[in-house]
Structure 1
Amino acid sequence: MKRYRDSLIRFLKRLPSAYHGRLMAVTILLGLSLLNLLSEWPHELPRPDFLDTVDRLLPDSFGTPRQLLFDHFQRWFPRTPTAQPVTIVAIDDRTLAAVGQWPWPRNRLAVLIDAIAAHKPAAIGLDIYMPEADQTSPDRVADNLPATAASLAAGLRALPSHEAILARSLRATRSVLGAVAFDHATANTRTDLLSAPILVHGADGANPLDSVLRYHYVLASLPELQAAAHGQAMLNVALDQGTVRRIPLILGLGNHLVPGMAIEMLRVATHSPMVEVFASPAGVLSVGVADVQVPTQPNGEMWLHFASIRSTQNRYVSARDVLDGQVDAERFRNKLVLVGLTGTGLSDVRATPLGEQVPGIEIQAQVIETIFEEHFLQRPAWLKWGETVFIITFGLLVIWYLPRTDSRFATFIRSFRRGSAVLGITLNLLSLLSCVLLFKYGGLLVDAASIFIIGSAVMGSFFSTALLDDDAKKQRDAARAHTDDGGKGSGKSIDGALARWKRIHRSSK
């Protein structure tokens, strides 16, 4: 056992300088490239079981740097809105103070919808779900009256329920109700949703249900309200460590596909009968409605290019002003109108890559706005393979070229102790600049972080080898100098003895 241990120690000591440092550099290059590929496993390949072990041992090894870099791309170049297709009617603190606390009676919500519909919007989407009956409805109040108030109870039951009033308002305008998918059952969840059909285009073997986020339960509005609305849509967002970077345009609910709010709003606004999904065996390619086609990730998610909340404040209208008739009709005419909660303690606040906290309804508005402007961010499936091929090819070229003795450049790098580090930093900065330009002008999310990490590790191995070689050279020079000094001293001693012997010999003669 000791012999094997000693052999391993000797091997590890020789490894950094073996083959002029190439062996160490190749090991680092291939090892980190494999780990990078595993951190973003392609959808077109079956996921191996051992990836779960890798995720436990090395959580977010490359994922976190990748996401942080993409966030910085957005902070450097946030989207600048060029149009305002969306108006948000905010049930804010002003509205709650004037109208009353939430939840409102459904007939009051119907009044708000009627006030918006009077200005002819293209569609109205409710970032609200109502899974339970309104307890303030006349029939519910009648049920709680004592027997002595039988005549009053009969009169209340003769009135339309608040659900019926809201359903009439939803039916009278192009309305979309929101819902949220769950992977577990709760007291109010269901297993189905009255959603529009989705037509799948693709080659044989293309089944988007195998790729999209899939759930079995949904928290949705009452069936009576669903039947009255012109569309049902999911409000789910994708969270990465608490930040919204992507949003699903389609989801799986049981054995069928359901649309997200943005794409369903466009379907209802354009009077389209269905949502279209374009897929391949590797997953979803795009989601379309009418003449709009949105590129997606293989799981049906869309990368969001965020605009700063400071540039979108003019899209907000207080529900109080709408109810009071104090809003210009042009704020709604032919617009996609979203109704949601922004009051303190009521809204679901989300973090964006820009470092801002925004209401959840703002996320939906940004999706619609991005689709309207066709300002898409993309990270297609082939890009990961392209990055991996680039990293390995470029790394191998550096490993082959740098230690060569017949290259003036390599000689300069070896003679300059920090030359490999300077070279690595320069190459990585050029790589980062290229990725920034691809983001700004092409909307491509290229993983410069992984290129930087792996490239720096490879160049760093040569830097370490250069330091080891330099130390070894210094030790050899010191030993040689010591030997030379010792030899000269011995020579002087011999020469002195010989001179003394010659003097003694001459004197004796």
Structure 2
Amino acid sequence: MAFPSMKRYYDPWLVRIRSLLKAAQGRPVALVVLFSLSLLNLSSEWPSDIARPAFVGALDEAVPDSFRTARQLLFDQYQRHFPRIPATQPVTIVEIDEETLATVGQWPWPRNRLADLVDAIAALKPLAIGLDIYMPEPDQTSPDKVAGNLPKTAAALAAGLRALPSHEAILARSLRAAPTILGAAALDHAAFTTSTDLRSAPILVHGADPLDRVQRYDYVLASLPELQAAAHGQALLSVTLEQGVVRHIPLIMGLGEKLVPSLPMEMLRLATDSSAIDVFADGSGVQAVGVADVQVPTQPGGDIWLHFASIRSTLNRYVSARDILKGTVDPQRIRNKLVLVGLTGSGLTDMRTTALGELVPGIEIQAQVIETIVDGRFLRRPTWLKWAESAFIMAFGLLIIWYVPRTHSRLALFLRAVPKGSALLGVSLHLLNVLFCFFIFIHLGLLVDAASIFIILSAVMGCFFAPALLRVDEQTGTQATHAERREDDNDRTGKAPGP
């Protein structure tokens, strides 16, 4: 008994919807859909050259990830079908792997043992050595720490141990003697070993101050001040995750009220013997980050979309730390290279998922950033591109709204002549859209959002298919009603139903 009452409840709404879709051949509804979805698309990636209105921010919060997820998945597909092929190999990764741990001992190592590794790498003449290792606390195996744990009866032994240099002092000496950079992790919250500052090379800003545009943090997990003072540079290792995937990497970040570099830029600064990193910015944000004669075009937030190479094509950059310590590695794998030292042993690795869907060590991502900069293979999504996409969507959408409902147009005649012509035409246009955007990605490195174009224009076209479906539904309903009336008449007269 509930179904008839529900039908009576929904019938008025269905009538209103039908009349609205039929009004002016569906053009008003199509216009509303076009403008609404275009605004929603803009709110999900508001161009940085103008201030975002408050209502746009509220719209983005009310409907989060409306177009962003589709856009990101599309850009991932671009890369999976056309990954970057490394042209050079400027980076060597010295990995503290399973073989090294089995030979040298479990992690964390005493700092003097790490100093041996730094010395062995430095002897092979690299351009720079970056350590993806945090050391915020004193080494408890240092002689002075061991002396403090000895009983009073071993006073002579304790005095002898205290006379020895600490492991931090040994490592500091190695860091000072080699072109070394210490990595640090940026954090949004305070912890026992965090601080609010980092010893870093100066950053020279050309143009507007970009501090409010870049990704900012209040705290950092860095190495001990003694080690920071000995190293030739400090850098942040943080990456941006979007739904667990690394797609773009910041080249500069904010720590409190100052700008600090990422590890790749600091490695290039040290390798080129530059005194500072240059940041070029305007009112819309960061335009480029440079060092020496290299300028990297960035997004307004000081980050870059990283064009990933498959891990299968970069495995030859890895060298086991065990081979370095034994002196059995080919010196040419280190000489004049940018060397990154990181953990890859089981249970120690900071694994990340790339846009290619591969799970790689975090140090690999830093290497790929350096490699991308050296090769000059940048992916870009400049602010003007978003405006160009929006203009295309509006222009093509208005063209659809004006032309498609015309009953005597060539398109209308074609669709009436070919029953499946509308589906064929829609698929062909959207396939052409995707192929054209992919062509631009391959040849120009531009990330064009074919997903938003597809979604919005498909919704606009749907506004004109809906009235046709409603007419079919009405005809079917009318035929069914007539059939029911004939059956009722036949029942009352006792006649057999006709054909």
TM-score (norm 2): 0.91
Q: Which residue of 1 aligns with 2:497?
A: none
**What do residues 51-92 of structure 1 show as CA deviations (whole Å, max 9, x unaligned)?**
565445423111111111111100000001111100000000
CA distance in 2, matches of 1:73, 1:385: 21
Q: Which residue of 1 aligns with 2:206?
A: 201
Determine which of 175, 185, 192 is the counterpart of 2:190.
185
Q: Which residue of 2 aligns with 1:485?
A: none
Q: Which residue of 1 aligns with 2:300?
A: 298
**Cα deviation, residue 421, structure 1:** 3.1
Q: Which moved further from structure 2: 393-402 or 149-158?
A: 149-158
Determine which of 140, 150, 153 is the counterpart of 1:148.
153
Determine which of 221, 225, 248 is the counterpart of 2:223.
221
Q: Which residue of 1 aligns with 2:178?
A: 173
**Cα deviation, residue 321, structure 1:** 0.6
**Cα deviation, residue 382, structure 1:** 1.3
Alignment of 1:358 with 2:360, yes or no, is: yes
Query: Quick check: 1:414–1:466 contact (8 Å CA) kept in 2?
Result: no
CA distance in 1, matches of 2:426, 2:467: 15
Q: Which residue of 1 aligns with 2:319?
A: 317
**Cα deviation, residue 34, structure 1:** 1.1
Q: Which moved further from structure 2: 468-477 or 16-25?
A: 468-477
CA distance in 1, matches of 2:440, 2:56: 30
Q: Which residue of 2 aligns with 1:462?
A: 464
Q: Which residue of 1 aligns with 2:124?
A: 119
Query: Quick check: 1:417–1:463 contact (8 Å CA) kept in 2?
Result: no
**Cα deviation, residue 470, structure 1:** 4.8
**Cα deviation, residue 95, structure 1:** 0.4
Secondary structure at the counterpart of residue 125 of structure 1: strand
Q: Which residue of 1 aligns with 2:385?
A: 383
Q: Which residue of 2 aligns with 1:210?
A: 212
Q: Which residue of 2 aligns with 1:14?
A: 19
Query: Quick check: 1:420–1:460 contact (8 Å CA) kept in 2?
Result: no
Q: Which residue of 1 aligns with 2:373?
A: 371
Residues 50-69 of structure 1 aligned to structure 2 (within 5 Å) = 50=55, 53-69=58-74
**Cα deviation, residue 141, structure 1:** 1.1
Determine which of 384, 395, 398 is the counterpart of 2:397.
395
Secondary structure at the counterpart of residue 42 of structure 2: helix
CA distance in 1, matches of 2:253, 2:481: 72
Query: Quick check: 1:428–1:455 contact (8 Å CA) kept in 2?
Result: no
**Cα gap change, 1:477 to 1:410, in 2 (>3 Å):** farther
CA distance in 2, matches of 1:32, 1:235: 37
Alignment of 1:160 with 2:165, yes or no, is: yes
Task: For 1:149, give the aligned amino acid.
Answer: A
**Cα deviation, residue 161, structure 1:** 0.9
Determine which of 344, 350, 368 is the counterpart of 2:346.
344
**Cα deviation, residue 47, structure 1:** 3.9
CA distance in 1, matches of 2:145, 2:474: 90
Q: Which residue of 1 aligns with 2:261?
A: 259
Secondary structure at the counterpart of residue 247 of structure 2: strand
TM-score (norm 1): 0.89
Q: Which moved further from structure 2: 385-394 or 56-65?
A: 56-65
Q: Which residue of 1 aligns with 2:76?
A: 71
Q: Which residue of 1 aligns with 2:3?
A: none
CA distance in 2, matches of 1:281, 1:224: 39
CA distance in 1, matches of 2:113, 2:123: 16
Task: For 2:421, give the aligned amino acid.
Answer: G
Structure with the greater alpha carbon radius of gyration: 1
**What do residues 201-248 of structure 1 show as CA deviations (whole Å, max 9, x unaligned)?**
11xxx2210100011100000111111111100000010100000110
CA distance in 2, matches of 1:23, 1:414: 23
Query: Quick check: 2:18–2:470 contact (8 Å CA) kept in 1?
Result: no
Alignment of 1:428 with 2:433, yes or no, is: no
RMSD across aligned C-alpha pairs, in angstroms? Answer: 2.1
Q: Which residue of 1 aligns with 2:454?
A: 452
**Cα gap change, 1:468 to 1:8, in 2 (>3 Å):** closer
Q: Which residue of 2 aligns with 1:487?
A: none
CA distance in 2, matches of 1:386, 1:140: 63
CA distance in 2, matches of 1:63, 1:47: 17
CA distance in 2, matches of 1:461, 1:414: 18
Task: For 1:95, give the aligned amino acid.
Answer: T
Task: For 1:441, give the aligned amino acid.
Answer: H
**Cα deviation, residue 476, structure 1:** 9.0
Task: For 1:219, give the aligned amino acid.
Answer: L
Q: Which residue of 2 aligns with 1:239?
A: 241
Secondary structure at the counterpart of residue 208 of structure 1: coil
**Cα gap change, 1:475 to 1:10, in 2 (>3 Å):** closer
CA distance in 2, matches of 1:229, 1:305: 30
**What do residues 308-355 of structure 1 show as CA deviations (whole Å, max 9, x unaligned)?**
101100000000010000101000000000000000000100001111
Q: Which moved further from structure 2: 255-264 or 394-403?
A: 394-403
**What do residues 368-422 of structure 1 show as CA deviations (whole Å, max 9, x unaligned)?**
0000100000011111111111101111011111122342223222554543333
**Cα deviation, residue 8, structure 1:** 7.0
**Cα deviation, residue 276, structure 1:** 0.4
Determine which of 39, 43, 59 is the counterpart of 2:48.
43
Q: Which residue of 2 aligns with 1:329?
A: 331
Alignment of 1:99 with 2:104, yes or no, is: yes
Query: Quick check: 2:43–2:57 contact (8 Å CA) kept in 1?
Result: no
Unaligned runs of 5+ in 1: 481-509
CA distance in 2, matches of 1:400, 1:51: 28
Task: For 1:434, give the aligned amino acid.
Answer: F
